[in-house]
Structure 1
Amino acid sequence: MHSRGSSNRPSNSGGPAFYSRSSALVLAMFATMATIYVAGRMWQDAEIRVYLVQQLDRRTGQGHSAISVDDTLKIIACREQQKKLSALEMDLADAKQEGFVSKEHLENDGTRSKKRLLAVIGIITTFGRKKNRDAIRKAWMQSGAALKKVEEEKGIVVRFVIGRSANRGDSLDSEINNENSQTNDFIILDHVEAPEERSKKIKSFFVHAVEIWDAEFYVKVNDDVYVNIDALGAALSTHLDKPRVYMGCMKSGEVFSEPTHKWYEPDWWKFGDAKSYFRHASGEIYAISRALAQFISINRSILRIYAHDDVSAGSWFIGLDVKHVNEGKFCCSTWSTGSICAAV
């Protein structure tokens, strides 16, 4: 009995070694599984990082596998510049719709089609002054192909400026239409032609001219003044470096409060007790730079006018940072060598 019981009992021979081998096997299995798991996660993370870098490269247009902090800041700055450019393009589109940019001188891509002109000269005329206009055409303005040549070679556009009759379509309007069909040298404003409306007419001329022609200067001339085009161009060219120029034969003078006086000023009381006008250019001829013409165009509805057009023009620049150039060559009382104008 004893021996048989002894023979059925498991032998303890090699027990500790067996348990050691089993533990090592289990640990090896766990280690292998852990290694496979970690490797899989690392591979997955690596794939994700590669994908993210590729997406960043694609979106930023960079050709590098990674982007530095400096490059990232540059990208952000570029994006801000793109936003500003988009906003400016929208503002430009709005300006075109409002008429602040000449459509005549814009190509399909929105760029200027011609080089900027030096000057646009508006000769202020009215009904019944054809003899004056013909004399000016012969003396200094030219006509036909010669007028076009002045524009192309000297960069100076010259046009007569006139409004419409109070009775639209009457014989006065017909005469101007017929004359313009032969000469093609008029700016015909949508403005009633009348002596008391002259200041409004001058403002309308600057508005019209700056919207049609891109020029450095815009010049107003009376139709009883002869102009030396070359001398005028030379004088204007010396002030191209000044953004806001008001140039002419500067003067002042008494403000007349008597209604019967030829030069009566209804707003005389605004000029103080001494009743003297501020300095302004003589109305025979004066020039303003492009920035000032644009200012008149933009603020046309709120610019005050006075009884006299030269005073009105001078008043528009009071309070602005404008360079007043008192040029003796613009004084038309006498003609001498180098003079720009002569009144007749």
Structure 2
Amino acid sequence: MQSRGSSNRLSSTVVKTPISSLLFSMFATLASIYVAGRLWQDAQNRVHMIKELDRITGLGQSAISVDDTLKIIACREQQKKLTELEMQLATARQEGFGSKSSVDTNDNRSEKRPLVVIGILTKFGHKKNRDAIRKAWIGTGTALKKLENDKGIIARFVIGRSGNHGNSLDKGIDSEHKQTNDFIILENHVESPEEFPKKAKLFFAYAADKWDAEFYAKVNDDIYVNIDALGATLATYVDKPRAYIGCMKSGEVFSELGHKWYEPEWWKFGDKKQYFRHASSEMFVISRALAKFISINKSILRTYAHDDVSVGSWFLGLDVKHIDEAKFCCSSWSSGAICAGV
């Protein structure tokens, strides 16, 4: 038989057990609701963040890596620069600037490349020679222009400046050029006999930069040129990209001081004292590629005592086609000659 105290403890235990279970169930339910709510909120935040990322980057439905983000930033910077350049280009075009090809396209015309640019190397006091050349084979005014337009032959007298810049010699050339408009005046070249090879180099460099011709010719101002024969002959060599055309020779190197053809650096040409193969000075022609070579390297190309030797030396190490053309032997007066001394 149980005691009264035992009965009370049992009753208390029976009463407390259902209450504890109920409280535990309520707590678990609330905890589940809280966790589910947090998970739902996190999911909503993640969706919102992805949508915002998609809206900013415009790259679709999925998140992107750091590398991809950096690439996007770089692309945007390039796009920004491209847009700025396009705006600058549009502004330049409005101000009249544009590439030669675009100008030709807009004008529906293509400019034909000149056949040859002839540099007639002249000197102070040689006006009679120049007038004789104008009368004999290059013409003046409209005739000179017709020679350029119809035959593709550009002819100019080449001269530098006097040692006393701006004196009567310079003024005389300026006045003559104003009347005839047929000079190339080398402003940074001082006229002197020993600087004649340098003058030839500066002419080729200047002409190659100013005119994109097939050929470039050097002629002395005491030479008569048969323009028609020159044009016909050069037309046969257009397919030779590195042509060096002239009356080829290999003359003696003179080491005696005071000799007309004295070469101060004679010792560079070997024990036999013979020059390498080169074209005679009166007249010779080089192709566009060789003229461009001179223009690019003019500051380091060595000149010797004579212009023909100097030019020939520049081509020794190049893959150049030396064309020995008898028609360029100006002193021979051969049949069909292109040039002749006067």
Residue 314 (structure 2) aligned to one of 313, 316, 319:
316
Number of equivalenced pairs: 303
Contact 1:303/1:316, CA 8 A, preserved across alignment: yes
Unpaired segments of 5 or more residues in structure 1?
58-63, 90-106
TM-score normalised to structure 2 length: 0.71
Instruction: Give the 3 Å change call, closer, same or farther, for CA 127–25 of structure 1 in structure 2.
Output: closer
Distance 2:258 2:221 in 1: 26
Distance 1:168 1:139 in 2: 31
Task: After TM superposition, give the deviation of residue 274 of structure 1 in Å.
Answer: 0.8
Secondary structure in 1 matching 2:115 = strand
Change (3 A) 1:129 1:32: same
Matched, 1:137 2:134: yes
Equivalent in 187, 201, 205 of residue 203 of structure 1: 201
Q: Report matched runs for 1:255-270 at 5 Å.
A: 255-270=253-268
Structure 2 counterparts to residues 99-178 of structure 1, below 5 A: 108-109=97-98, 111=100, 115=111, 116-178=113-175
Structure 2: runs of 5+ lacking an equivalent: 86-95, 105-110
**1:25 alignment counterpart:** 29
SS of 1:215's partner is coil
Q: Contact 1:265–1:307 (CA<8 Å) still a contact in 2?
A: yes
TM-score (norm. length: structure 1): 0.71
- Tell me, in whole angstroms, the C-alpha distance in 2 between the residues paired with 1:12 and 1:261: 138
Please name the residue that 1:36 is paired with: 40
Distance 1:289 1:315 in 2: 16
2:192 to 191, 194, 203: 194
**Counterpart amino acid of residue 255 in structure 1:** V
Deviation at 1:322, TM superposition (A): 3.1
Tell me which of 304, 307, 313 is aligned to 2:305: 307
Listed one character per residue, the Cα deviations across residues 268-327 of structure 1 (whole Å, up to 9, x for unaligned) are: 222111110001111121122334334333433432222211111111222233333333
Bigger CA radius of gyration: 2
1:143-171 deviation digits (Å, cap 9, x = unpaired)? 10121122233333211112334455555
- The secondary structure found in structure 1 opposite 2:214 is strand
Counterpart-to-counterpart distance in 1, 2:234 and 2:61: 58
Preserved contact between residue 203 and residue 300 of structure 1 (Cα < 8 Å): yes
- Amino acid aligned to 1:189: L
In 1, Cα distance between equivalents of 2:24 and 2:164: 122
Q: 1:231 to 1:22 in 2, by over 3 A?
A: farther
- Give the whole-Å Cα distance in 1 for the aligned partners of 2:281 and 2:18: 127
Change (3 A) 1:169 1:49: closer
1:336 matched to 2:301? The reply is: no
Q: Whole-Å Cα distance in 2 between the matches of residues 32 and 269 of structure 1?
A: 101
Alpha-carbon separation, structure 2, partners of 1:16 and 1:192: 117
Task: Tell me the secondary structure at the aligned position of residue 97 of structure 2.
Answer: coil
RMSD: 3.9
Q: Partner letter of residue 263 of structure 1?
A: W
Kindly indicate whether the alpha-carbon contact (under 8 Å) linking 1:335 and 1:341 is maintained by their aligned counterparts in 2: no
